[in-house]
């Protein structure tokens, strides 16, 4: 299947997903994951020009916008972007592998929950590096097979995202921590890796009284610990070489 065909399938998947995407995103597990990601991104975004690649409906971008000098986003899905624009955000329809910006346009370029669904990850990372300024940072979130999340996905099978569509309808890749450095283009120098969702076996446990809050505290505590290598999500922090 060609890249354009894959993008077409992804666009249709996320347009379909957009109708109910935020139904459970404001509390519990999904809100925790956003908070964990923003725990990495917000301090780096303050007072800077920021681009989010794969901004979706703008849940994270809206919080970055509040602290950044300037923040905008791109996404493949018109359905997702419609909701982001309703939030008053500056967004464009574009692919992660062809960002519509000149070289060195942003201080911080980031992508959460997206790059694992891009077949040509190398090109996407090269594009993110291209539009980042020398000395700026790229945050790239990958899916980790060394995790409870991966095991749960394997055991439970593809989750339903809408009527007649499941997670199996979109390309997904998993990259082990040992591969991280080799995935980066030469323009980027690895700074650190954060691990998110280390202990959570399934999203529903965050709805259990007392268990959910305790688990959330534990997840916040280990993002930089040795246990980070077992996080379901690996946030790679890399600096653009000067």
In the block, residue with structure tokens 């009527």 = 163
Residue 1 has pLDDT above 80, yes or no: no
Kindly report the length of the chain. Answer: 242
User: Which residues does 86 contact at the CB level (< 8 Å), separation at least 6?
Assistant: none
Q: Where does the chain show beta strands of DSSP type E? A: 49-53, 70-75, 90-93, 106-111, 132-143, 160-162, 165-166, 188-196, 233-240
Residue 17 has what pLDDT? 65
**Segment 22-69, tens digit of pLDDT:** 777 788 999 999 999 999 999 999 999 999 999 999 999 999 999 999
Residue 161 has what pLDDT? 67
Residue 21 burial (CB count, 10 A): 20
Residue 99 burial (CB count, 10 A): 20
**Segment 163-179, tens digit of pLDDT:** 667 778 889 999 999 99
The answer to whether the beta carbons of residues 210 and 126 sit under 8 Å apart is no
* Nearest to 111, CA basis, from 48, 40, 192: 40
Between CA 154 and CA 172 the distance in angstroms is: 13
Specify the number of domains making up the chain.
Answer: 1
Residue 188 has what pLDDT? 98
Q: Can you give the residue range of the structural domain that contains 120? A: 3-240
Residue 7 has what pLDDT? 75
CATH of the domain at 169: 3.40.50.150
Q: pTM of this prediction? A: 0.91
């Amino acid at each position: 299947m060609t890249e354009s065909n894959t993008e077409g399938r992804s666009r249709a998947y996320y347009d379909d997903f957009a109708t109910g995407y935020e139904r459970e995103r404001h509390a519990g597990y999904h809100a925790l994951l956003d908070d964990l990601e923003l725990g990495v991104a917000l301090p780096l975004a303050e007072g800077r020009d920021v681009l989010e690649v794969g901004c979706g409906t703008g849940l994270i971008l809206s919080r970055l916008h509040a602290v950044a000098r300037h923040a905008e986003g791109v996404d493949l899905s018109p359905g997702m972007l419609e909701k982001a624009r309703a939030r008053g955000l500056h967004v464009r329809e574009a692919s992660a592998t062809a960002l519509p910006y000149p070289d060195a346009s942003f201080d911080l370029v980031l992508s959460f929950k997206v790059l694992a669904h891009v077949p040509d990850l190398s090109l996407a990372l090269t594009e993110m590096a291209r539009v980042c300024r020398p000395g700026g940072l790229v945050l790239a979130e990958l899916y980790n097979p060394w995790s409870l999340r991966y095991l749960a996905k394997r055991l439970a099978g593809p989750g339903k995202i809408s009527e007649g569509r499941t997670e199996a309808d979109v390309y997904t890749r998993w990259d082990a921590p040992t591969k991280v450095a080799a995935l980066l283009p030469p323009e980027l120098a690895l700074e650190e890796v954060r691990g998110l969702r280390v202990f959570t076996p399934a999203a529903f446990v965050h709805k259990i009284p007392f268990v959910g809050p305790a688990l959330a505290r534990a997840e916040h505590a280990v993002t930089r610990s040795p246990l980070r290598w077992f996080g379901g999500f690996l946030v790679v922090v890399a600096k653009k070489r000067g």
